[in-house]
Structure 1
Amino acid sequence: MQFKDQIDFVRQHIKKNKMRVFMTVLAATMGTAFLIVLASVGFGLHETIRDSILSNRKVTELEVYSSEMNQEKVDELKKRDHVKAVVYRQFVSAEQQVKLDDLTSYSRMTVTDFVEEGKANFALAEGRLPKTAEEVVVGSHFGQYLMSEEEMEGGAEVKGYEGDLIGKHISYQLLDIEGNSIGKELQLTIVGVGKKPAKDWDQDQNIYGDALIIPALEEIYFAEAEQDKDEQPLFYGNVSVHADQLENVKALSKGLKEDGYSVYSIADELEQLDVFFLALKAGLVFVGTIAILIASIGIFNTMTMAVTERTREIGVMKAIGADPKLIQRLFLMESAWIGVIGTVLAIVISYGVSVVSNSILPIIVSAALGEEDLGGMDVTFSIIPWQLVLIASTISIGVAMISGWRPARKATKIDVIQALRQEL
Structure 2
Amino acid sequence: MSFKDQIAFVRQHIRRNRLRVFMTVLAATMGTAFLIVLASVGFGLHKTIKDEVLSNQMVTQVEVYSEELTDAKTDAMKKMDHVKAVVHRKQLAPTAFAELDGYTAGLNAYFTDFGEEATSGFKLAEGRFPEKPGEVVVGSGFAEQLIDEKATVKEGEELPTYKEALLGKTVTFKFEPLKEGAVSEEWPLKIVGIKEAPGKDWAFDGYLYMDDRLMPEMEKGLAAVSPEPEEGVEPDGFTYPQVNVYVDKLENVKSVTGALKDDGYSVYSVSEEIEQLDVFFLALKAGLVFVGTIAILIASIGIFNTMTMAVTERTREIGVMKALGAGPKLIQRLFIMESAWIGIVGTVIAVLISYGVSMVANAVLPVIVTAALGEDGADLGVTFSVIPWQLVLIASAISLGVAMISGWRPARKATKTDVIGALRHEL
Does 2:242 correspond to 1:235?
Answer: no
Listed one character per residue, the Cα deviations across residues 194-242 of structure 1 (whole Å, up to 9, x for unaligned) are 1111221111111111112212321211111235596222211211112
8 Å contact kept, 1:124–1:192: yes
Tell me what 1:141 maps to.
141
8 Å contact kept, 2:153–2:159: no
CA–CA distance in structure 1, aligned partners of residues 143 and 207 of structure 2: 10
Does 2:294 correspond to 1:290?
Answer: yes
Tell me what 1:19 maps to.
19
Question: How far does residue 36 in structure 1 lie from its aligned partner after superposition?
Answer: 0.6
Please give the secondary structure, in 2, of the residue aligned with 1:126: strand
Question: How far does residue 108 in structure 1 lie from its aligned partner after superposition?
Answer: 1.4
Q: Which moved more, 1:178-187 or 1:115-124?
A: 178-187
8 Å contact kept, 1:173–1:182: no
Q: CA 1:71–1:327 in 2, change beyond 3 Å: closer, same or farther?
A: same
1:23-422 to structure 2, matched below 5 A, reads: 23-149=23-149, 156-157=157-158, 160-176=161-177, 183-226=184-227, 231-372=235-376, 378-422=381-425
CA–CA distance in structure 2, aligned partners of residues 49 and 178 of structure 1: 51
Please, which runs of 5 or more residues in structure 1 have no aligned partner?
none
Question: How far does residue 73 in structure 1 lie from its aligned partner after superposition?
Answer: 1.9
Question: How far does residue 305 in structure 1 lie from its aligned partner after superposition?
Answer: 0.8
CA–CA distance in structure 2, aligned partners of residues 364 and 310 of structure 1: 53
CA–CA distance in structure 2, aligned partners of residues 397 and 152 of structure 1: 78
CA–CA distance in structure 2, aligned partners of residues 107 and 386 of structure 1: 52
Listed one character per residue, the Cα deviations across residues 323-349 of structure 1 (whole Å, up to 9, x for unaligned) are 222221111111111111111111111
Listed one character per residue, the Cα deviations across residues 169-205 of structure 1 (whole Å, up to 9, x for unaligned) are 2222222479999512221111111111122111111
Q: Which moved more, 1:267-276 or 1:95-104?
A: 95-104
Q: Which moved more, 1:72-81 or 1:338-347?
A: 72-81
CA–CA distance in structure 2, aligned partners of residues 297 and 191 of structure 1: 74
**TM-score normalised by L of structure 1:** 0.93
Q: Which moved more, 1:176-185 or 1:35-44?
A: 176-185
Please give the secondary structure, in 1, of the residue aligned with 2:174: strand
8 Å contact kept, 1:107–1:142: no
Please, which runs of 5 or more residues in structure 2 have no aligned partner?
none
CA–CA distance in structure 2, aligned partners of residues 153 and 227 of structure 1: 41
Q: CA 1:153–1:260 in 2, change beyond 3 Å: closer, same or farther?
A: farther
Question: How far does residue 388 in structure 1 lie from its aligned partner after superposition?
Answer: 0.5
Listed one character per residue, the Cα deviations across residues 126-153 of structure 1 (whole Å, up to 9, x for unaligned) are 2222221111111112223332236696
The one-letter code matched in structure 2 to 1:174 is F
8 Å contact kept, 1:167–1:190: yes
Please give the secondary structure, in 2, of the residue aligned with 1:6: helix
Question: How far does residue 82 in structure 1 lie from its aligned partner after superposition?
Answer: 2.6
Question: How far does residue 315 in structure 1 lie from its aligned partner after superposition?
Answer: 1.3
**TM-score normalised by L of structure 2:** 0.92
The one-letter code matched in structure 2 to 1:417 is I
CA–CA distance in structure 2, aligned partners of residues 346 and 107 of structure 1: 60
Q: Which moved more, 1:153-162 or 1:343-352?
A: 153-162
8 Å contact kept, 1:25–1:339: yes
Question: How far does residue 25 in structure 1 lie from its aligned partner after superposition?
Answer: 0.7
Question: How far does residue 298 in structure 1 lie from its aligned partner after superposition?
Answer: 0.4
CA–CA distance in structure 1, aligned partners of residues 316 and 373 of structure 2: 65
8 Å contact kept, 2:182–2:225: no
CA–CA distance in structure 1, aligned partners of residues 64 and 36 of structure 2: 42
8 Å contact kept, 2:177–2:225: no
The one-letter code matched in structure 2 to 1:238 is Q
Q: Which moved more, 1:381-390 or 1:236-245?
A: 236-245
Question: How far does residue 105 in structure 1 lie from its aligned partner after superposition?
Answer: 2.7
The one-letter code matched in structure 2 to 1:11 is R
8 Å contact kept, 1:175–1:181: no
CA–CA distance in structure 2, aligned partners of residues 153 and 296 of structure 1: 77
Question: How far does residue 99 in structure 1 lie from its aligned partner after superposition?
Answer: 2.5
CA–CA distance in structure 1, aligned partners of residues 136 and 15 of structure 2: 79
CA–CA distance in structure 1, aligned partners of residues 89 and 261 of structure 2: 21
Q: CA 1:185–1:22 in 2, change beyond 3 Å: closer, same or farther?
A: same
The one-letter code matched in structure 1 to 2:354 is S
Question: How far does residue 320 in structure 1 lie from its aligned partner after superposition?
Answer: 1.3
> Share of identical aligned residues, percent?
60
Q: Which moved more, 1:138-147 or 1:188-197?
A: 138-147
8 Å contact kept, 1:182–1:220: no
CA RMSD, 1 decimal? 2.4
CA–CA distance in structure 2, aligned partners of residues 301 and 386 of structure 1: 31
Q: CA 1:299–1:179 in 2, change beyond 3 Å: closer, same or farther?
A: farther
Listed one character per residue, the Cα deviations across residues 304-325 of structure 1 (whole Å, up to 9, x for unaligned) are 1111111111111111112222
CA–CA distance in structure 1, aligned partners of residues 109 and 98 of structure 2: 10
